[in-house]
Amino acid sequence: MGVLEEFIGNAFYYTIDAPVTFVRDFVDSQRKRSPYYYYHQRFPRVPSIEECAVDDYVCMYEGNMQYKRDRLVDMEILKHLQKVLADCNLMEGPNAKQSCKAQLAEYEEAADGYQGKYGELGGTGNAVKCMMKQKARLMEERRKAREQGKA
């Protein structure tokens, strides 16, 4: 009986176990070499629009796409903070004003930053319009600082 059991064991090993183990080891080695994460896609950062030459349309397009991705990320952060604040208000009930001050402050800070950067640009806002808005805001801040310095 020992020879028959050994023959069946070897037949099982060489026909089923060995090929499956070989394929699994090969797939695992490939996965370790270049891991791929399914939960989000990472885009490499590109030069911003102010670093592009006037006639470099590819750079301007990439800068505009980077602006749109950044805007979407900032929008999702705001949505998440709004959801956290709503959950806190729901859980705390009548005590929400005292208990949710930290969440409210964080949300208001993020909303002010978003409004300062993207506000009043509309749906057709692009990187050039955003850059011009920031430039105008900086010039206004410098003008106010000069006026305060003289007064």
pLDDT tens-digit readout, 38-56: 667 777 888 888 888 989 9
Q: Are 125 and 118 in contact (CB under 8 A)?
A: yes
pLDDT averaged over the chain?
Answer: 88
Burial letters 4-39, b for 16+ CB under 10 A, else e: eeeeeeeeeeeeeeeeeeeeeeeeeeeeeeeeeeee
More confident residue, 38 or 131: 131
Domains of the chain by residue range = 43-123
Q: Are 63 and 52 in contact (CB under 8 A)?
A: yes
pTM for this model (two decimals)? 0.65
Looking at the predicted structure, is the pLDDT value of residue 95 above 90?
no
Q: Which of 21-25, 105-109, 130-134: highest mean pLDDT?
A: 105-109
Looking at the predicted structure, is the pLDDT value of residue 33 above 90?
no
